[in-house]
């Protein structure tokens, strides 16, 4: 399997990248982003560019890829809806439409979130924008899956890029066991996110629908072969 990965410098993206590099079924990974990873691996190819949605370079050969794992995203805190929509919806759809045109057999996995509003009528700005993004992706002629994780727990040394998130994880990590007892499926290890993405893009995997919630992601992440 050949994978294109967006958002590899973020915590979820780092976890997904780690699993891709450790999984024997993934033969190559193309990372596209604005910031260098600082990672080298025989399977890894990196493309650093100001506009991640620009996939016009002829050497990309988009039709040769089997899956795209789209982990790119920003927090809506302090952002106006227009700006948040431009990054969350418009950039995502620019990438997705280009990939769908190049290879309608591609599997596209989009990281959304618990609470996403598919109706577009809710009061939460981020949920409405994420919901429209999901809806528009599902209309494209490829196999799209919406991942709606709850709490993603960084494991295996996977860091968080944002300082605020690092502080938040440091404070909340001692509470994870309690959360697991109360809502065992809400917490998703970062490695399970990566394995679940690989699973949905692998032939023969049984997936219940196109929208995957924490329980679905944990099930698929646990069912995928581990390479640790």
Residue 51 has pLDDT above 80, yes or no: yes
Res 167: pLDDT = 46
Averaged confidence pLDDT in the chain? 87
Res 48: pLDDT = 96
Sequence-distant (6+) residues with CB within 8 A of 54 are: none
Model pTM score: 0.86
CATH code: domain of residue 28: 3.40.50.720
pLDDT band at 226 (very low <50, low <70, confident <90, very high): very low
pLDDT in tens, 159-169: 555 554 454 45
Does any domain span residue 76?
yes
Does any domain span residue 32?
yes
Res 33: pLDDT = 95
Res 158: pLDDT = 47
Does any domain span residue 228?
no
Res 224: pLDDT = 52
116-152 residues labelled b (16+ CB within 10 A) or e (exposed): bbbeeeeeeebbbbbbbbbeebbebebbbbbbbbbbb
Res 228: pLDDT = 40
Residue 178 has pLDDT above 50, yes or no: yes
Which tops the pLDDT comparison, 174 or 134? 134
Q: Outline where DSSP puts E strands in the chain.
A: 2-6, 28-33, 44-48, 67-70, 107-111, 143-147, 151-153, 187-189, 211-212
Res 225: pLDDT = 44
Q: Please answer whether residues 5 and 29 qualify as being in contact, where contact means their C-beta atoms are separated by less than 8 angstroms.
A: yes
Give the residue carrying structure tokens 């915590």.
11
pLDDT band at 193 (very low <50, low <70, confident <90, very high): very high
How many separate domains does the chain show? 1
pLDDT band at 75 (very low <50, low <70, confident <90, very high): confident
Partners of 156 in the β-ladder: none
Degrees, nearest 5: CA angle 202-108-40: 75
Which tops the pLDDT comparison, 172 or 119? 119
Residue 21 φ/ψ region, left for φ over 0, alpha for ψ in the -120 to 50 degree band, beta for the rest: alpha
For residues 61 and 70, what is the distance between their CA atoms, to the nearest angstrom? 18
Which tops the pLDDT comparison, 152 or 16? 16
Q: SS3 string of 89-150?
A: HHHHHHHHHHHHHHCCCCEEEEECCCCCCCCCCCCCHHHHHHHHHHHHHHCCCCEEEEECCC
Res 170: pLDDT = 52
Q: Which two tokens stand for residue 111?
A: 């990281």
Does any domain span residue 166?
yes
Does any domain span residue 79?
yes
Q: Please answer whether residues 83 and 65 qualify as being in contact, where contact means their C-beta atoms are separated by less than 8 angstroms.
A: no
pLDDT in tens, 84-94: 999 999 999 99
Expressed as residue numbers, the domain containing 18 is: 2-223
Tell the burial category of 153 from Cβ atoms under 10 Å away from its Cβ (0-12, 13-18, 19+).
buried
The maximal CA–CA distance of the chain, rounded, in angstroms, is 51
Does any domain span residue 125?
yes
pLDDT in tens, 20-50: 999 999 999 999 999 999 899 999 999 999 9
């Amino acid at each position: 399997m050949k994978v294109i990965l967006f958002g590899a410098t973020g915590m979820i993206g780092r976890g997904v990248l780690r699993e891709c590099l450790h999984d024997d079924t993934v033969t190559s990974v193309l990372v596209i982003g604005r910031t260098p990873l600082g990672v080298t691996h025989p399977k890894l190819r990196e493309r650093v560019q100001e506009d991640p949605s620009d996939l016009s370079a002829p050497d990309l050969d988009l039709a040769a890829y089997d899956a795209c794992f789209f982990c790119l995203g920003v927090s809506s805190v302090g952002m106006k809806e227009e700006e948040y929509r431009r990054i969350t919806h418009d950039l995502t759809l620019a990438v997705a439409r280009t990939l769908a045109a190049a290879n309608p057999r591609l599997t596209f996995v989009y990281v959304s979130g618990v609470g996403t509003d598919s109706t577009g009528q809710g009061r939460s700005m981020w949920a409405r924008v994420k919901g429209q993004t999901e809806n528009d992706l599902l209309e494209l002629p490829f196999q799209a899956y919406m991942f709606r994780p709850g709490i993603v727990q960084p494991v295996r040394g996977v860091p968080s890029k944002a300082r605020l998130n690092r502080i938040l994880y440091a404070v909340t990590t001692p509470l994870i066991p309690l959360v697991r007892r109360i809502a065992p499926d809400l917490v998703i290890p970062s490695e399970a996110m990566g394995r679940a993405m690989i699973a949905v893009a692998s032939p023969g995997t049984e997936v219940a629908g196109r929208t995957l919630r924490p329980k679905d992601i944990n099930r698929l992440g646990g069912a995928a072969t581990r390479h640790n």
